[in-house]
């Protein structure tokens, strides 16, 4: 699922790809999308983008003299499980391009497309950030920090820290892989009470005798949890890539895989929180761990490799471990897990994986023909009805 860094990378891509392009005509929506029509048509306009937390704003700005005369229009996007932007030739649109902005003639026509395989993404022609979301962890750090520490009496902080980190009212931009990486770096048990973890930060003040450079050095060497909520997403943004743009295919996750230390990595343990989302961690899960929950430890890299793969897949010393196909399914890829629509800010849910059930006694095996017919009918898959705070 795209998290704060992915939305910021998407805004960077749109601004770079659309710089100098003139768009024209009406905005086109696919017939299968349940999102609203975009009431905008202009003979000439520019497109720009900005991001805040887990939302992206696209602004359509008519050029001087464009017809019909009208004000700029802003659209706010939430990417759901699989949203992204692509720029493609108008006569070769990518599959699942549910909103399309075409360049004006006479140059070869291009289309900026909002591509969403799962169709859980959403756009709002009102142009305003979703009410209730907290300050952005990337761009509004001081406001974000103050918002958290000022509201520690909120019942959201009665929950485990791993669940509180997904509450977009306070941690706008943090998602599943980021919470695992942040907690891992500080060796904080994921099921420790959130208020217990955060209250200590209210009284943490640097010594007034320290110089500014000493304060900065101390902060960099010993960051607290809220500082990591800002700096860890920033690291992902600095990696670049992440599947946005023609020069970075959707499978271009090599730098991201090498960056991961905890999420889905060999040797790590995992549990599901009360929303069914998997949290990866190392060591003690903490006092609020779900009762009866079984911690599954990620198998070592070596044990997952087939004999013919071992020589080419084992990385040289001091390199980040490569990921096998089995491990890759845990990556926060846009189309990794199905998820239902919704905008709950208290949760950022991932549909739990439903294990394949064995056939009942006497039940005939389903033929490939039956499977294809079922797929054709568009029957929704299991687990697609969960709510989301994307």
Tell me the catalytic residues.
2-3, 54
* Cα pseudo-dihedral 116, 117, 118, 120, rounded to 10: 10
Q: How far is residue 159's CA from residue 84's CA, in Å, rounded to a whole number?
A: 32
Give the tokens for residue 243. 């599947």
d(CA 201, CA 196): 10
Whether a cis peptide bond, with omega within 30° of 0, leads into 106 is: yes
The values of phi and psi at residue 335, to 5°, are -110, 30
Q: State the helix-helix crossing angle for 225-239 and 4-18, rounded to 10 degrees.
A: 40
Of the CA atoms within 13 Å of residue 150, those in its CB half-sphere come to 10
Please identify which residue in the block is written with the tokens 């891992």.
Answer: 184
Structure-block tokens of residue 283: 């060591």
Contacts 24+ apart (CB under 8 A), 351-359: 351/276, 351/383, 351/384, 351/386, 352/272, 352/276, 352/277, 352/383, 353/383, 354/382, 354/383
Q: Which two tokens stand for residue 215?
A: 């304060």
Distance CA(335)–CA(114), nearest Å, equals 14
Is residue 68 reached through a cis peptide bond, with omega within 30 degrees of 0 on the bond before it? yes
Asked if residues 290 and 272 have their Cβ atoms less than 8 Å apart, the reply is yes
> Which tokens is 27 given?
């905005």
Which of 148, 355, 212 is CA-nearest to residue 272? 355
CA 7 to chain CA centroid, Å, is 7
Whole-number Å distance between alpha carbons of 59 and 65: 18
């Amino acid at each position: 699922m795209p998290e704060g860094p992915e939305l910021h990378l998407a805004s960077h891509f749109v601004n770079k790809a659309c710089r100098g392009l003139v768009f024209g005509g009406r905005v086109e929506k696919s017939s299968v999308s349940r999102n609203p029509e975009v009431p905008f048509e202009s003979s000439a306009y520019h497109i720009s983008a900005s991001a805040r937390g887990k939302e992206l704003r696209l602004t359509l700005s008519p050029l001087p003299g464009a017809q019909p005369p009208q004000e700029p229009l802003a659209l706010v996007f939430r990417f759901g499980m699989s949203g992204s932007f692509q720029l493609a030739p108008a006569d070769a649109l990518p599959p699942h391009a549910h909103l399309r902005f075409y360049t004006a003639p006479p140059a070869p026509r291009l289309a900026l497309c909002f591509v969403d395989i799962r169709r859980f993404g959403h756009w709002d022609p009102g142009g305003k950030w979703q009410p209730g979301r907290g300050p952005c962890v990337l761009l509004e750090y001081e406001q974000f920090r103050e918002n958290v520490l000022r509201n520690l009496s909120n019942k959201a902080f009665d929950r485990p820290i791993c669940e509180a980190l997904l509450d977009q009212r306070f941690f706008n931009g943090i998602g599943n892989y980021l919470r695992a990486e942040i907690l891992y770096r500080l060796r904080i048990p994921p099921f420790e009470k959130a208020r217990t973890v955060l209250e200590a930060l209210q009284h943490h003040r640097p010594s007034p005798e320290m110089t500014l450079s000493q304060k900065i050095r101390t902060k960099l060497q010993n960051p607290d949890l809220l500082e990591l909520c800002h700096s860890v997403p920033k690291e992902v943004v600095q990696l670049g890539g992440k599947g946005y743009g023609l020069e970075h295919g959707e499978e271009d996750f090599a730098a991201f895989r090498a960056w991961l230390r905890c999420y889905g990595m060999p040797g790590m343990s995992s549990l599901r929180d009360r929303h069914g989302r998997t949290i990866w961690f190392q060591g003690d899960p903490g006092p609020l761990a779900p009762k009866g929950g079984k911690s599954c430890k990620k198998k070592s890299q070596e044990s997952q490799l087939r004999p013919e793969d071992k020589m080419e897949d084992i990385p040289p010393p001091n390199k980040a471990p490569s990921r096998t196909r089995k491990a890759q399914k845990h990556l926060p890829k846009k189309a990794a897990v199905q998820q239902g629509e919704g905008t709950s800010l208290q949760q950022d849910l991932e549909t739990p994986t439903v294990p394949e059930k064995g056939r009942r006694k006497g039940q005939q095996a389903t033929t490939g023909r039956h499977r294809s017919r079922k797929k054709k009918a568009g029957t929704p898959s299991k687990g697609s009805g969960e709510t989301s705070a994307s």
